[in-house]
Structure 1
Amino acid sequence: MRLWVISEEVVNRFGNELGACGIELSVYQTDSSDEVADGFLLTKETDGKLLQERMQQLGTGPWLTLVYGSDVPYDWANTLHAQYEQTGEHEVIRMALFTHERALLGGEPNGRWMRFLCKQLARYSLVSMVCGMREVDEVLRQLPRYLAWKEQFYIKLGASCDEKGISLLQVSRALGMDKRIGQGWLYPSRQDSSFIVRWLEKECRLVLQKVNIQRIVLWGEDWLWEHMSSDWLAEKDVAVYTGEDKPIPNKWMMGWTLYDSWQDAVKDADLLVIGNAAGTTIAELPLPELVNAMRQSYVIDAAACFPVQEAQSYFQAYRAIGENTNVWE
């Protein structure tokens, strides 16, 4: 399946995840109207205005209009459906993808493109649930709220585990045996990073009191470090790794060095601070290689990247949320 998009920016943002579903994205050009495609991908409201202009050039469909992404206004897909329902030019489908090979599709259950898309996703091992467009919008609105509440609960549970000297990892796994709760409590794409930031800063201040730390590596996406106080990092050599091929953020701390290679970032480091592992390879790294690159192997990990026992056997000290209570004593 091939869908036209408005710009190369859309391809860069959504091309990989949709490509894994067999959906190819192609930037529509006015001089390539003879190029074959099945319809359009809309990711924000302004795309709809440009869609009307393209339709005047292309003529009638029937086209698939796939509405996708978190930037789409609530109920916009349903509005588009009502707009094109009488003419039959478009079949509008609201789509969301989840982890673990799941897809949510909102639209006409017996629509031609709906049936085609369900089969297409099945060929790529994705299980689809078909519902109304507004239901998809409501799910996408509530999902980050629920995940944030779940993460806050486990962070508070981690504090309780610290006090009792027990493992949050084991407690969370045990709770997750109940399918109503499920495994995996960390929310990597969190909208509110305040809980994680406070925990990281508290733990970092503790280790700085106990150990001679000169070079610190901050590993994670830049938005996390933008919300962290920098006073505890004063007079330290601070290296930052946000993942390969990431653009330099607009807001950047003076005196911090941004690296595009994790090997260069962690070289001769005393303390590795992992705030977020999304978009990076840290959980896949061989721990001996990581340890050998560092001068001292102290690690504070808010993303639970490594099995606790393995991490403790390699690092001089390893601190994760709710694990190894008195590591800095």
Structure 2
Amino acid sequence: MKLWVISEEVVARFGNELGACGIELVVCSADDIQEGAIGFLLTKESDGKLLQERMQQLGTGPWLVLVYGSDVPYDLANTLHTQYEHTGEHEVIRMALFTHERALLGGEPDGRWMRFLCKQLARYSLVTMVCGMREVDEALRQLPRYLAWKEQFYIELGASCDEKGISLLQVSRALGMDKRIGHGWLYPSRQDSSLIVRWLEKECRLALQKANIQRIVLWGEDSLWEHMPSDWLAEKDVAVYTGEDKPIPNKKMTGWTLYDSWQDAVQDADLLVIGNASGTTIAELPLSELVNRMRQSYVIDAAACFPVQEAQSYFQAYRAIGENTNVWE
């Protein structure tokens, strides 16, 4: 299925994730109305002008208006629905994707485009739940809050496990046997990274006290390192790797070297600090290759990239949240 969007920026931001569901995005210009499109994708309130401009050119629908993304104001979809429900020109659906496996759709359960969209997503193996538009808005509003609370709980539990000399991994798995809890708790898309940053800084300072470390690799999104206090990195050779094909960070990291290759970044490193593995392949790397490229294989991992026992057998020291309480002793 094909939907019009207001700009190439929208295509660049949402094209891949929606394309994985079989939804193609095309820019709708005044001079070139793309044939085959069945409606519009709105990702922010200002996109609404696209509807007004194109309605006169396209004539009556009914067209699909798919309201998508976290930047959409609360209740926008419901407002549009109220505006157009009497004309029959548009069917408004509020949509959210969860982990590329499940979709939440808000709108009329028996609507023509709702039925069409459910079938479309099913063809791409997505499980859908249909509810009200405001229910989707509320779920999107509360999800980051809940995930942040859950992550904070497990980080605090990790500190308790450290004190008791037990494994957070095993405790979290045990808790996850209760279906009400589940196993996942580290969320790379977190809005507030302060807890992770504090944990990383504490562990890195301990590592610098216990080992002769000169070259440090920071692995993860640049937004994380921008909030990291840098005094403990003074006079160190600091390499930063944010992932392949990632743009250069807007904020200049004075004295730090940015790499677009993980092999070059970790070459002759003494300490690898993993803050966020999202968008990278670190969890898939052979540990032997990683170790061979490093001068010393000290690793502090806030993303739980490796099985603990395997990491312990390869690295000189491996520290993950709630694991290896005596690693720096």
Report TM bin, short chain: over 0.9
TM-superposition CA deviations, 1:262-292 (whole Å, max 9, x none)? 1111111110000011111111111111111
CA distance in 2, matches of 1:76, 1:34: 26
CA distance in 2, matches of 1:224, 1:326: 26
Q: 1:177: Cα distance to partner?
A: 0.6
CA distance in 1, matches of 2:295, 2:280: 22
Aligned CA distance change for structure 1 residues 272 and 86 (closer, same or farther; 3 Å): same
Aligned CA distance change for structure 1 residues 34 and 193 (closer, same or farther; 3 Å): closer
CA distance in 1, matches of 2:167, 2:27: 50
Gapped runs of 5+ residues in structure 1? none
CA distance in 2, matches of 1:34, 1:60: 16
1:196 is matched with 196
Whether the aligned pair in 1 keeps the contact of 2:301 and 2:319 (CA below 8 Å) is yes
CA distance in 1, matches of 2:257, 2:104: 41
Task: Give secondary structure in 2 for the equivalent of 1:32.
Answer: coil
What is the TM-score with the length of structure 2 in the denominator? Answer: 0.98
Q: 1:96: Cα distance to partner?
A: 0.4
CA distance in 1, matches of 2:257, 2:57: 49
Q: 1:35: Cα distance to partner?
A: 2.2
Q: 1:4: Cα distance to partner?
A: 0.9
Q: 1:246: Cα distance to partner?
A: 1.2
TM-superposition CA deviations, 1:198-231 (whole Å, max 9, x none)? 0000000000001111111100111111111000
Gapped runs of 5+ residues in structure 2? none
TM-superposition CA deviations, 1:226-246 (whole Å, max 9, x none)? 111000000111111111111
Q: 1:118: Cα distance to partner?
A: 0.5
CA distance in 1, matches of 2:299, 2:68: 38
Q: 1:79: Cα distance to partner?
A: 0.5
Task: Spell out structure 1 runs of 4+ moving beyond 4 A.
Answer: none
Q: 1:181: Cα distance to partner?
A: 0.2
1:74 aligns with 2:63: no
Whether the aligned pair in 1 keeps the contact of 2:28 and 2:34 (CA below 8 Å) is no
RMSD over aligned CA atoms reads: 0.9
Aligned CA distance change for structure 1 residues 58 and 152 (closer, same or farther; 3 Å): same
CA distance in 2, matches of 1:54, 1:148: 40
CA distance in 2, matches of 1:252, 1:220: 16
CA distance in 2, matches of 1:320, 1:114: 45
Q: Which moved more, 1:146-155 or 1:253-262?
A: 253-262
Q: Which moved more, 1:182-191 or 1:22-31?
A: 22-31
CA distance in 2, matches of 1:91, 1:156: 46
Q: 1:8: Cα distance to partner?
A: 1.3
Q: 1:42: Cα distance to partner?
A: 0.7
CA distance in 1, matches of 2:287, 2:298: 12
CA distance in 1, matches of 2:202, 2:148: 20
CA distance in 1, matches of 2:54, 2:311: 55
CA distance in 2, matches of 1:7, 1:280: 28
Identity %: 90
Q: 1:34: Cα distance to partner?
A: 4.8
1:175 is matched with 175
Whether the aligned pair in 1 keeps the contact of 2:298 and 2:317 (CA below 8 Å) is yes
Aligned CA distance change for structure 1 residues 100 and 177 (closer, same or farther; 3 Å): farther
Q: 1:51: Cα distance to partner?
A: 2.4
Whether the aligned pair in 1 keeps the contact of 2:301 and 2:320 (CA below 8 Å) is yes
Aligned CA distance change for structure 1 residues 58 and 100 (closer, same or farther; 3 Å): closer
CA distance in 2, matches of 1:281, 1:38: 37
TM-superposition CA deviations, 1:179-208 (whole Å, max 9, x none)? 000011111111111100000000000000
Task: Give secondary structure in 2 for the equivalent of 1:295.
Answer: coil
Task: Give secondary structure in 2 for the equivalent of 1:318.
Answer: strand
Q: 1:159: Cα distance to partner?
A: 0.3
CA distance in 1, matches of 2:249, 2:125: 36
Q: 1:31: Cα distance to partner?
A: 2.1
Q: 1:50: Cα distance to partner?
A: 2.6
Whether the aligned pair in 1 keeps the contact of 2:219 and 2:277 (CA below 8 Å) is yes
Whether the aligned pair in 1 keeps the contact of 2:26 and 2:34 (CA below 8 Å) is no
Q: 1:139: Cα distance to partner?
A: 0.2
> Number of residues paired by the alignment?
329
TM-superposition CA deviations, 1:111-147 (whole Å, max 9, x none)? 0000000111111111100000000000000000000
Q: 1:250: Cα distance to partner?
A: 1.4
CA distance in 2, matches of 1:193, 1:229: 13
